[in-house]
Amino acid sequence: MRLDVITLFPDYLAPLELSLIGKARREGLVDLVVHDLRDHTHDRHRTVDDTPLGGGAGMVMKPEPWAEAFAAVRDRGQEGLGADVEPLIVFPNPAGTPFVQATAQEWSHCEWIVFACGRYEGIDERVYEHLADAGYEIALASLGDYVLNGGEVAVLAMTEAVVRLVPGVVGNAESLVEESHSDGMLEYPLYTRPAAWHDPVGVVREAPGILLSGDHGRIAAWRREQSVLRTGRRRPDLLGPADGDGAPD
Ligand code: 6GU
């Protein structure tokens, strides 16, 4: 998988050198390149923003640096991947469609994703029109209903969610099957040794006995039940709309 990130703050993406993603990069499973948008300006002040046409607060990102950056990133990527390969261009944006586990699953099959990190109030709308007319596939994706200062933190989150699903990146593929959201529900509670833990205030906390029973069928059933209970308590929205008639189930 090839990933490009276009940003005004390349240092923000430094954590992508670490841990699982860093290892995937060193092993050649992921080729990730970070680009400074300011390298695609040509004035003395390296200007990337201007005041909004029509007035209003804040600043808007100018279209020219973006168009030049996309062309450069596309040319460089196609040198490696072939001229027939086109990227998915992702704009992290609080006004986008929600980025969920299914999005991560879908994107984990992409050969090439370009993340374009906006800052300030946003990017001139004509950039999106230009890219769509040029035949690019574009996605606006949001992490959730709150506002970050820019797309960089969202790219860190999206990249981690996507890259860990790329085959070979997570050593034990089975651990991807049982985790929260993989089946639309929250994960069951986990325990390890000691089976009876004396906590710091002297309370003896026993792990559920069924986990020591060796009965894998009953353990699986207990875990499913715990998943449903936990999802109902914490995230009832994931269990689908309530029928609302008040009658017993
Ligand atoms: Cl993807 N970007 C920004 N700037 N803010 C966000 C977001 C993305 N997701 C939630 N808030």
Which residue type does 165 have? L
CB hemisphere CA count around 101 (13 angstroms): 12
Ordered by where they begin, the domains of the chain are 2-173 (3.40.1280.10), 185-239 (1.10.1270.20)
Q: Is 147 annotated as a binding residue?
A: yes
Tell me, using a 6 A CB cutoff, whether residue 155 lines ligand 1.
no
- pLDDT for 4 equals 98
Residue nearest to atom 2 of ligand 1 (CA): 93
Tell me, using a 6 A CB cutoff, whether residue 151 lines ligand 1.
yes
Coil vs helix vs strand at 114: strand
Q: For residue 119, how far is the Cα from the chain centroid?
A: 18
Walk along the chain (249 residues) and give the pLDDT tens digit of each residue: 999 999 999 999 999 888 888 888 899 999 999 999 999 999 999 999 999 999 999 999 999 999 999 999 999 999 999 999 999 999 999 999 999 999 999 999 999 999 999 987 999 999 999 999 999 999 999 999 999 999 999 999 999 999 999 988 887 888 888 888 878 899 999 999 999 999 999 999 999 999 999 999 999 999 999 999 999 999 999 998 866 565 665
Which element (helix H / strand E) includes 138? strand 137-142
Tell me, using a 6 A CB cutoff, whether residue 148 lines ligand 1.
yes
Distance CA 35, CA 13 (A): 10
Distance CA 154, CA 144 (A): 10
Tell me, using a 6 A CB cutoff, whether residue 156 lines ligand 1.
no
- pLDDT for 249 equals 54
Distance CA 15, CA 21 (A): 9
Q: Is 146 annotated as a binding residue?
A: yes
Q: What is the pTM of this model?
A: 0.92
Tell me, using a 6 A CB cutoff, whether residue 95 lines ligand 1.
no
Q: For residue 214, how far is the Cα from the chain centroid?
A: 37
Q: Alpha-carbon torsion 159, 66, 76, 11, what sign?
A: negative
Q: Residue 176 phi/psi, 5° resolution?
A: -80, -20
Substitution candidate for ligand 1 out of 97, 147, 149, 155 with most atoms within 8 A of CB: 147
Tell me, using a 6 A CB cutoff, whether residue 7 lines ligand 1.
no
- pLDDT for 120 equals 79
Residue bearing tokens 């090839």: 2
- pLDDT for 175 equals 82
Q: Is 118 annotated as a binding residue?
A: yes
